[in-house]
Amino acid sequence: MHFGRAAAKVYISQPALSKQIRKLEDQLGVRLLERDSRHVTLTAHGHRVLSDARELIALAARIGEHPVESAMVRIAHIFELQTSRIVADAFAAAYPDVRLVERSLDSRRQLDALLNNRLDVAILRVTAEMVALNPTGWQFHRLRLEPMLLVGRPGDPPKASVSLFERPVEVFADTPASGLYNAHGDYLTTLERASGMSMRWLGNPGTFGHCLAAMHRATESGYVLEFESYAARYAESGVPIHHPAELQPYYPWCIAWRDEPHNAAVADFLRIAEHTARQHHWHLPPHRPARPWVPPDDPTHSPQAVAATTAPRPRP
């Protein structure tokens, strides 16, 4: 329901996407979308065509792909963040004969791939919008609350904590207007509003190396708000990291799977993921003096996704 995001997702320009949709409407002889300057909605014909199209795409995927091996698990990573990698390492150590097929996908693309049977397990941030748009066909629960830390500039003095308002807070993320806005950006927008900060959005260089290079090129004062996974790597490079003084944001990572019977390998992966979370105390973040914060609309607060103390049990 957003032409800019849809065009970015399929790597074409927005005018080209609009032209293709008009051509499809002409071919079908019906109107699929109603749009004005602020909103896009599906017509009744649009809802029917969408349902049929999803079935056709799923059928094409099943025809085009080799049968999924029983001793294989398909997962994805989000850039170089460590949560999924730690779980993958633990699973590989426990089940060396099971093949892991790994890709790089952001949270929204992971969910799309999961629902279309291109992934077996997703480790992602689940948003309220994802749940609203996809109310059935999958399950999830919280896997980790990852602290967000403030990264200083090279040469800054070490401090345990700094104020969120001492310097401008920068984020390596794409703005809502960019067409590349994602679940990470949604989290940051919610934090920006809740804290009263005005963040400096720097775009998304992707890898840690690019982020570190951008920081060394920076000429303005600021702190970069980063995942603990990345912050530790900045510290290894000699850049000071700090805890926020006013509140401690946590990024909620979830593990998700299709709501259907699993093969043994997928069931084992889910069990290892939960064991790893308990082993690393991911469900119980360390005590910080600052007030903890997660987005108030985070779906893991709902009864559907209360974090379990045991691994999800697949139906036989």
Of 217, 199, 205, the closest CA to residue 180 belongs to 205
Average pLDDT for 290-300: 91
- The CA distance from 186 to 193, in Å, is 11
Torsion sign (Cα): 120, 124, 129, 135: positive
Mean pLDDT value of segment 94-98: 96
Instruction: Give the type of residue at 134.
Output: N
Do residues 45 and 32 touch, judged by C-beta distance below 8 A?
yes
CA 1, CA 126: separation in Å to the nearest integer? 19
Give the pLDDT mean for 15-25: 87
Share of the chain above pLDDT 90, in %: 58
Taking every pair of C-alpha atoms in the chain, what is the biggest distance, in angstroms? 67
pLDDT recorded at residue 52 = 87
Average pLDDT of span 185-194: 94
**Can you list the pairs that 1-5 forms with residues at least 24 positions away whose Cβ atoms lie under 8 Å?**
1/39, 1/40, 1/41, 1/42, 2/40, 3/35, 3/40, 4/177, 4/179, 5/179, 5/180, 5/181
For 144-179, how does the pLDDT look when each residue is reduced to its tens digit (9 = 90+)?
999 999 999 999 999 999 999 999 999 999 988 888
Closest CA to 199 of 187, 210, 209: 187
Question: Would you say 159 and 228 are in contact if contact means Cβ atoms under 8 Å apart?
Answer: no
What is the distance between the alpha carbons of residues 256 and 299, in angstroms, rounded to a whole number?
Answer: 12
pLDDT classification of 69: cutoffs 50, 70, 90: low
Look up residue 122 and give its DSSP letter.
E
Do the beta carbons of residue 123 and residue 102 sit within 8 Å?
Answer: no
Q: Which helix (H) or strand (E) holds 199?
A: none
- Amino acid code (one letter) for 220: E
Helix (H, G, I), strand (E, B) or coil at 264: helix
pLDDT of residue 57: 84
Work out the number of other CB atoms within 10 angstroms of the CB of residue 280. Answer: 14
> Is it the case that residue 262 has pLDDT exceeding 70?
yes
pLDDT at 79: 84
What does 211-229 look like in DSSP terms, one character per residue?
HHHHHHH--S--EEEEEHH
The more confidently predicted of residues 307 and 174 is: 174
Report which of 264, 288, 266, 268 is spatially closest to residue 276, judged by C-alpha positions.
268
On the CB side of 45, CA atoms within 13 Å amount to 9
CA gap 67, 101 in Å, rounded:
14
* 173 vs 184: CA distance, rounded Å: 7
Q: Is 124 helix (H, G, I), strand (E, B) or coil?
A: strand
- pLDDT of 84 strictly over 90: yes
Indicate whether 199 pLDDT > 50.
Answer: yes
Residue 204 and residue 180: Cα distance in Å, rounded?
Answer: 9
Q: How confident is the model at residue 114 (pLDDT cuts 50, 70, 90)?
A: very high
CA–CA separation, 232 vs 121, rounded Å?
A: 26
Mode of pairing for the β-strands spanning 72-77 and 99-104: parallel
